Every structure is written in structure tokens, then in C-alpha cells.
Amino acid sequence: MKITIHRGINQIGGCITEISNSETRILIDLGQNLPDGEGVVKDDFASREAIEKITQGIDAIFYTHYHGDHLGLFHYVPDNVQQYLGNVAKRVALCKHRQLSYIKGREELSAEEIAKLKKMGELSPGQSINIGDITITPYFVSHSAYDAYMFLIEAEGKKILHTGDFRGHGYLSKGLLPTIEKFILPQGKVDFLITEGTMLSRRGEKVMTENELQKEAGRIMTRYKNVFVMCSSTDMERLATFYAANKHLKRPLVCDRFQKSILEIFTESAGIRSQLFHFDKVYDFNPTNGKLVEWMSDKGFCMFVRATDKFKDYYQSLATRLDPNETVLIYSMWKEYVNYDGKHTVQRYLDFVSMFPNVEKLHTSGHASAECLANVCNLVNPTLGIIPIHSEQSDNYRKLNINDTLKGKIITTSQDIEGVEITTF
């Protein structure tokens, strides 16, 4: 049996993990490298030739969630390789790629992406899939992408738990440890834990819960009449935070047609289980809709925005009606994107944020804190090894609050352990 970490041991994003034996080979994620501050992606795998090579002999690919650093290379995959994504995640990805198809010059690429997504198999929590002699069972996790999964992989008498990206401080995170304790561990000891470590380089950073963030959002929104919110368009829990805070103020919540379509998907899925995710009163903004604009001018509003020319135009169309002292942009994304001197600075984000008279930064990570990572490691207590991925400092796993025995099982280099060949790149 082999575990191959093609990418991820010492980088965030671009995740590709292979699990194989003499009969069957699968991949977990086929992610694209994250772009630099100029939006340029440097990725040796981002070509049809490279993906045909890495997927040669692969029987199936399973995606933990729809973020590009996990899903981004899916359209290069040959048609004979079956790909799997969560049911709702697939709908969100299709909605996103249909939106991208409106970009001039991208029509052909978008058509290929949409066709590939439509053919993907759909994952449901707890429902096992057999690929050859490997069994894969997905289990729901909370992340900044809804319908994200960790996978229990069983082959040749060994059990591997691949967590994907997850966190312990979201609205839906309360099921994380109980899921492992009640559904995974009763099936037998986990041998290898492959888990993310995004926050390892920020171990001292205080992690705000989504509930705490909602309360703070409410305080900010009470101080300002006109509220623009810049956050991920597909982070359901964050969108719910601002939706709930705005609902208490009884102001219109507005967005564009794409964002409204995403909210409708969340309402039809998660909204059935919890009112928190039932986005029932959302208005599609159009600057020529005089009645809506008058209502917004009178009552105030909350608008979900993105750093695009369209939303610059939307803001400019409203600016003369807005008192600068009563207008704010709540920036709810990673702070380094708008750090003037940082290596992750995104110029278009800086340009967009700079338009607003007042800016409040209010964010919490979509990834597990160091405490949460330690809790998962201690609970799973794998018999043979912990393989940290999705981290710039994987060796920092040894600084987590885990026992010395577990620290001795951390694997960041290639080695063989009890018949399992582990290869890291």
C-alpha cells in the first residue's frame, strides 16, 4: 500500500494526495496552487499533459470541497477517470462556473468545466463508495466552503482518515469531534491521519467563533446605516453571520444575481435543517430599480460585494445618496490580502477597499486552530502516523499540545511504516 503526498507537505493549497495498492489508485483533491498577489498562478501541474500523466492509472478522484486549491485542476482530468464531489458542493461549483462563462474569451473553457462538473459523481455523508478494493466514506466537516468532507479510506486492512480542510469554531463545527467519536472510531483504529495545518504558522492568533463574529457584526452595523460586506460569496456560514446581523436591523439585504443564486442553493439545502441558513429575504440589486434604491436610501441596507468593476459601478451609482459618516465596508477576508507590504497582497482588493470612507476588518479563519488540530489528533490517536498537509510549516505539528508518542508519529518525509510506503514531495 502507498500514500503519496504529491503536494501539500510544506505549502498551503494545491493539495494532491494519492492512496494506492497493487489493484486500485485514487486521488484525494486535485488542487491548483494559490495565486500570488498579482493573481498569477505558478503551477507545473496546470496543464492537460501534466494532469494526464498524474492521473494515468487513477481509478477515481474525490474532492473534499469546492475551493480552487483543492478542486482547481478538475477540468484537465480525462473523461475515463470518475470524479466525485459533494451534492451541494457540485451545485455551488456549477453556479460559479456558469458565472465565469460570461467573461469574454472564456466561453470554451467554461463549457468544458461545466461539462466535467455535470459528470461528477455526488457524495453524501456516511455513504460509502467502493473503488476496486478501496472503500471511501465521506463525513461532513465545517469549513469556509459548505458541503465539505473528510474521508475515511479503507484498504488492505488499513484505515486512513483524510480530514480535508476543517475548523472547530463555525456554526456547524459542533459535530466534528462527535462524528469522529461516534461514527469513525467504532469502525476500528485509524492507522494514518492525514490532516491540514493551515493555522500552524499563526498559532498565537486568537480565533473568533462565528457566533462571536455575528455579535460584533451587529455592533458595527448598528453604528452605520449603509453597510457593504466583502466576504467569500460561497462561505455559507459567513454569509449567514451577516444575514442574521442585518435581519435584526430590518434593513434590505441586497446582492447581485450570482450571489442570490448561491444563497438560494444554501436555502434549499442547509436552510431546510436550520433557519440560520434560510436566506429568504434577499434583493437582486439593479441601480435602475428606483423603488429599491429609494428604500435603501431611506432605511439603510446591507450589500454583499466583490472586488469587481461591476461592484465599483454599483457603489458609484449609490455614492451621492450616502452620507460618508454613515457608510462602511466590512472587510471579512484574510487580512494579508489587504496588507500593503505583505507577500499575499491583492492589488484589486486594495483598490476596492480604498473607495470606502470607513472600513472595518472583521474575520475569522475557515481553518482549524492549533487547539482544534490537537484535539483531533488526540481523539483519533492514529496507530502508525500523522501526515500534516496544507501547511507552510508542517514541522510545527510537533509543537501542538499532543503527547510525545503522537509527536513521534508525525511524518513529513518519505519512509516505509509497517508495509505502507509513504512518499512526500
**pLDDT tens digits along 122-149:** 999 999 999 999 999 999 999 999 999 9
Query: Does the pLDDT value for residue 201 go beyond 80?
Result: no
| Residue 341 pLDDT exceeds 90 | no
User: How does the average pLDDT of the chain come out, rounded?
Assistant: 96
Distances 326 to 214, 290, 311, 342, 410 between C-alpha atoms, Å: 20, 21, 19, 30, 52
pLDDT at 391 over 80: yes
90-100 pLDDT, tens per residue?
999 999 999 99
Please give the pLDDT value at position 6. Answer: 97
Burial status of residue 248 (CB atoms within 10 A of its CB: 0-12, 13-18, 19 or more) = exposed
Residue of 108, 38, 113 whose CA lies nearest to 71: 113
Question: How would DSSP label each residue in 146-204?
Answer: SSEEEEEEEETTEEEEE--S--SSSTTGGGHHHHIIIIIGGG---SEEEEE-GGGGGTT
pLDDT band at residue 212 using 50, 70 and 90 as cut-offs: very high
pLDDT digits (tens, 9 = 90+) for 235-257: 999 999 999 999 999 999 999 99
Q: Rounded distance, CA 265 to CA 275, Å?
A: 14
DSSP code at position 410: B
Residue type, 244: A
Confidence at residue 36, expressed as pLDDT on a 0 to 100 scale: 74
Q: How confident is the model at residue 205 (pLDDT cuts 50, 70, 90)?
A: confident
The pLDDT of residue 37? 64
The domains located in the chain, with CATH, are: 2-203+366-424 (3.60.15.10), 210-361 (3.40.50.10710)
Return the amino acid letter for 242: F
